[in-house]
Structure 1
Amino acid sequence: MLVSTIVSALSLFAVASAQSSISTSSSAAASASTSVAAVAATGSNGYSYAGCYNETTGIAGTNGDRALSGGKMETGDTTTVAVCLQYCGDSNYQYAGLEYSKECWCSNYLSALSTQLSASNCSLACVGNNTELCGGYLTLSLYNLTSKKAGSSGSSTKGDASSVAASSWTFVLGAGVMALTLGSAL
């Protein structure tokens, strides 16, 4: 009796698994025929693409601070790379980062704890343009301001994301880590 119950349960599992596989294959085939491959935009509005960087909110000792903090943020259902770069560029922020397909983050500093990742970590298409990449889950498609508008205020020193990270100091205090980012204004 026990053996026949186990065999029946395994048979039902096999049938359910096969049906699931068939429906998954059918929906994947349907998606594949209509999907568009998204790519990282090169940049605009004086910004250049710097790569995919990790978010820092989950790193111990950061108190939830973001990779791009001290600036401004907006989110919406029409987010594109160009819209974000315009939003950050209007205030001459050094960095613009797109995260989770619809978040736009602007800051003059990139946390020293944020490091460049493989491009495959920033794989979510922008909600406003599915041909462009807008970061990922806790990852930023990062853009660096390389040329400011004429007559703009702010530091004239330009650098890429790695130069800010290289000029940043990280202090280890006890069990946690605290990052102090020194910008190019020093």
Structure 2
Amino acid sequence: MSRLGKLPVGLPNGVSATVANDTVKVKGPKGELSLVVSSLVTISEAEDKSLVVRPADESTRARAMWGTTRANIASMVKGVSEGFEENLELVGVGYRAAAQGRDLKLSLGFSHEVIYTPRPGITITAPKPTEIKIEGANKQEVGQTAAEIRKYRPPEPYKGKGIRLAGEHVRRKEGKKK
């Protein structure tokens, strides 16, 4: 029995959801998201303006999809109402970031500057030259964008230079000894 799957997904004010066939669409002030749901779960709307997810049968696969589907729908509701954000820090001499329209211009110690163009629905800002703020309604796309930017220069263990998530601890190694 899924403890998480049993909970209904409440819809805050300003957020509406429609269930049609095998698709759930959630619309709110931050945008609109949709999810194609497996046939192993059924979704219904309750009287108190919430969505209820139930397994279609008692198979192991259906019970596994029950909690997962409910969590994905709850994430969509949070995304269209509040949105998600990810913060990155640039550590290193000369490492800089600047927003250039929709694009992000990165100076990371290469012989050239790196220009990153985000996917639709994602906004990137640089409040400081060493900070990057990624915002969007889709949790997966925000995290994927952060991972793609971090991939240009991941933090290295000897000096700690690179692009890291805000608050990320980089395990340092001891250098060469004489």
Structure of greater relative contact order (alpha carbons < 8 Å, 6+ residues apart): 1
In the superposition, the TM-score normalised over structure 1's length comes to: 0.22
More strand by share: 2
Larger gyration radius, structure 1 or structure 2? 1
More helix by share: 1
In the superposition, the TM-score normalised over structure 2's length comes to: 0.23
